[in-house]
Amino acid sequence: TQLRKRKIRLQSATTSSLQAARANSLLLQGSVVAIDAHLFRSKLQPLIAQQVEQGMTIQGQNLTTAQDKRLQQLKRCIAHQDAQFVVLNKPHGLAVQDGSGLNDSLARYLPGIAESLRNDHNIEQEEEQQLRLVHRLDKETSGVLVLARSRLAAAKFSELLRNGAVHKTYNALVASTSTPNASYSSLENFEGREIKLPVNGKPAQTLVERVFKQNHHTQPGTWLQLRPHTGRKHQLRVHCAQELGMPIVGDAKYGGRPADRLYLHAKRIRFPDPFTPERFIDVSCELKSSE
């Protein structure tokens, strides 16, 4: 299981690069095995202490100060938890999964977050202690993100997504690059309207639920409350830039005004609890001032 999840990697004696280990990987003299820190501490270290063979050298490295700080931050970002799901208020600037050119991601911290929740809700089965990603947010987008606590919960949430039963609401700060303070009057007529504009050749639909101002905010522009009815990559960013003519502030890819971050925030998620009839899980998270 841990091999499949790429928690164990190998560094050969002839190269410094790490590659995912396979079940049939051959260990040669001088090879280095790199194991996820949380997995090592919670599962393997006690076993190795009892069964280590003479002549085997084991080197461990704790989380860096920055990584430990990030883990503690993510623990504080838990907005909802029950026996089946955890909802985080994901910070902007953190990718959800590892990818090309990325050296940090939320996925790396899931074992540590799960460890902090280990004894809640009387969950005793080891399989239930793992957190699973069940949907995505862009690296630069902040806000609500659902994690499943079991394979069954992940499967049921995926089914809700396929059936259109998961409702998401985003807040986006948009502005004309030439006249940012004049955006509001230009956008009022879009309130309550559906945007239907294909994204990457696929149908995409977004409801502009609300157009509003937040005068206390330092960034000029107009706030939109958006509800995507489809889930295309960069859908909201494309719709704001190309259909409304008002890119999201901080969205360099689609012509947005430069800013300290991308001002797109997943504010709310609502879906029926697949384990409890007639109950809904409804979580809202405001954009943090420190964001």
Task: Return the structure tokens found at 172.
Answer: 């986006």
Say what the pTM is.
0.77
Does residue 75 carry a pLDDT above 70?
A: yes
pLDDT at 266 > cutoff 70: yes
Q: Residue 210 pLDDT more than 90?
A: yes
Catalytic residue among 138, 251, 273, 282: 138
Domains, the chain:
8-51 (no CATH), 65-163 (3.30.2350.10), 167-260 (3.30.2350.10)
Q: In the predicted model, what is the mean pLDDT of the chain? A: 82
Residue 289 phi, psi (nearest 5)? -65, -30
**What is the pLDDT confidence band of residue 188, given thresholds at 50, 70 and 90?**
confident
According to the model, what pLDDT value does residue 220 have?
Answer: 82
Mean pLDDT of 164-191: 83
Q: What is the pLDDT of residue 87?
A: 98
pLDDT of residue 288: 76
pLDDT confidence bin for 115, thresholds 50/70/90: confident
Q: Which residues contact 89 (CB under 8 A, 6 or more apart)?
A: 77, 79, 142, 143, 144, 145, 285, 288
Respond yes or no: is residue 68 known to be catalytic: no
Per-residue confidence band for 33, with pLDDT thresholds at 50, 70 and 90: low
Task: Give yes or no for a contact between 119 and 107, defined as CB atoms under 8 angstroms apart.
Answer: no
Give residue 260's pLDDT: 93
CA distance 55 to 76: 42
Does the pLDDT value for residue 193 go beyond 50? Answer: yes
Rounded to whole angstroms, the Cα distance separating 195 from 239 reads: 7
In the predicted model, is pLDDT for residue 191 greater than 70? yes
